Chain A
Amino acid sequence: MNDLLVVRPGPLTTVQDLGRHGVAHLGVPRAGALDRPALLAANRLVGNEPGAAALETTLGGVALRAAEPVVIAVTGAAAPVRVAGRPAAWGAAVAVPAGGLVEVGAATHGVRSYLAVAGGIAVPEQFGSRSADLLSGLGPAPLATGDVLPVGPAARSHPAVDVVPLPAPPTELVLRLRPGPRADWFTAEALAALPRQRYLVASASNRIALRTEGPPLPRARTGELPSEGMVLGAVQVPPDGRPVVFLADHPTTGGYPVVGVVPAADLAAAAQARPGTPVRFVLLRG
């Protein structure tokens, strides 16, 4: 079986697929790629099933050495790619020779690049997924220098002859918000004014949540909400009033009121928004 040796893990590189399903009632987060379309594109480029596991980098890239020849593709955040010492294409299938070094450099814009290998990263599954879950510690730990990642058998079919367009640098993160289930915990004025408020992506953002800096959202009622189930994209408002958008590693239950939910289609952009990026909420009809 082929494998990949981790030469440089980067600041935070994790194994991710489409995540865990059907186990939230046990307190198991969903995990999975934060930029799901980018993972799907990378898998498509190398001829993998959509749910094959790939690597998700964070800002600083990753470097790996392939034991045997392998086909890779890099998508998501734009970043320089080098294979066996030469510049290689971003967003396209690239052949790597035996012993070849694969280097994904620092992201030029965006946050998370996806490196898929034909055959997928074949670490063991837990609850039907190979994803690292940084909230609960399920799945493989973030990559460390010297780790050896098993690669599964590549599909017989030829990879799609295809390229993925390079994303434009985002100047603003626009998140649609469908109010509820606890919009009534906030004043009607606050909710109506939310689209005009200036928020920024906070540096404390991670795989669990995109945190914001900006004016606190005033509550209409005080007190505590009993813990309730949380969905992907839920916008929780903790006591400091700054909206927190739940991403893939979010806790399964939470006790702060959820003012609204961002549709999953908008979360890929959230996954790629760097700290300091302006955030604007657009209200959908509740």
Chain B
Amino acid sequence: MPDGILPDELLPDGLQPDGLLLRPVGEDALLVEADSTERVGALYAELLAQRAELPEMAEIVPAARTVLLDGVADRTALARLLAGWTVPARPSATGPLVEVPTVYDGPDLAEVARLWGVSAAEAVRIHTEPEYRVAFCGFAPGFGYLTGLPARYDVPRRATPRSSVPPGSVALAGPYTGVYPRSSPGGWQLIGRTALRLWDTGRDPAALLAPGVRVRFVAVRGMSA
């Protein structure tokens, strides 16, 4: 656990949230730091469930190790409440489930298989095995950072990013899987593609892969994606 900043006006002495560290941000935000992405998921679910009972806030933004609470009406009151929370080590698997039909023919599939020391077919089996969870969004609207692969399958980003990655590309970087919602530059390893529209501002929900959503990748044969 890194050093925390717990100013006296935020938290009375001795009051320490369970596994959580609170850091004030600017005038009206609070960064809640947890010891793992899994605990962040549990904290985020709890914040959404309890939101009506908590001081008003404009944004609840989960990330890799933190949840940012921005535009908080009464930060001191919120910090005191959170100090009394016990958050489980991982979220309960109750979020909605999205299946992502994927053609595994990405230009980096062979490289990923080599990094994993397996055949391309085995790499596809490994990637379709777990149930993933959207840990957080960022980079672009509707771009979810999905966790679920065991840590031994972490892969580096490409040494040279591509100037343009097609929309629907299923890609890996570090511990995450992501699906590019639209064409953009990108340095992730492309292993496949889906025809699913990840992001559609004319639809509710606009983002299929919002934080907390459970995801399964299903291998399908080639299509005119």
Q: Does A251 contact B (CB under 8 A)?
A: yes
User: Which of A137, A233, A253 lies in contact with B138, CB distance below 8 A?
Assistant: A253
Q: Does A85 contact B (CB under 8 A)?
A: no
Chain A residues near B139 (CB-CB < 8 A): 27, 251, 253
Q: Which residue of B lies closest to A251 (CB)?
A: B138
Q: Does A3 contact B (CB under 8 A)?
A: no
Q: Which of B27, B58, B67 gathers most chain A CB within 10 Å?
A: B27
User: Which of B24, B136, B210 lies in contact with A180, CB distance below 8 A?
Assistant: B24
Main secondary structure of the interface of A (DSSP, over half): loop
Scoring B residues 45 to 82 as 1 if CB is less than 8 Å from chain A, else 0, what string do you get? 00000000000001111111111101100000000000
Q: Does A239 contact B (CB under 8 A)?
A: no
Chain A residues near B25 (CB-CB < 8 A): 180-181, 231, 234, 258, 261
**Of B93-101, B119-127, B140-148, B158-166, the one with at least 4 CB within 8 A of chain A:** B140-148
Q: Check if B141 sits within 8 Å of A228, measured CB to CB.
A: no
Q: A27-B138, A27-B142, A263-B26 are in contact. Are A253 and B63 (CB under 8 A)?
A: yes
B104-159 with Cβ < 8 A to chain A: 136-143, 145
Count residues of B near A (Cβ-Cβ below 8 Å): 39
Q: Does A24 contact B (CB under 8 A)?
A: yes
Q: Does A264 contact B (CB under 8 A)?
A: yes
Q: Which residue of A lies closest to B68 (CB)?
A: A229
Q: Does B201 contact A (CB under 8 A)?
A: yes
Give chain A nearest CB distance to B95 CB in angstroms: 13
Q: Check if B64 sits within 8 Å of A227, measured CB to CB.
A: yes
Q: Check if A25 sits within 8 Å of B26, measured CB to CB.
A: no
B1-35 with Cβ < 8 A to chain A: 2-3, 5, 7, 23-27, 29, 31
Report the bound CA distance from A172 to B154 in whole Å.
47
Q: List 18 A-B contacts (CB under 8 A).
A: A24-B61, A26-B141, A27-B137, A27-B207, A180-B5, A180-B23, A181-B5, A181-B25, A226-B64, A227-B63, A228-B68, A229-B59, A229-B62, A231-B68, A251-B139, A253-B63, A253-B139, A286-B5
A interface residues, Cβ below 8 angstroms from B: 21-22, 24-28, 126-127, 136-138, 178, 180-181, 184, 226-231, 233-234, 251-254, 258, 261-264, 286
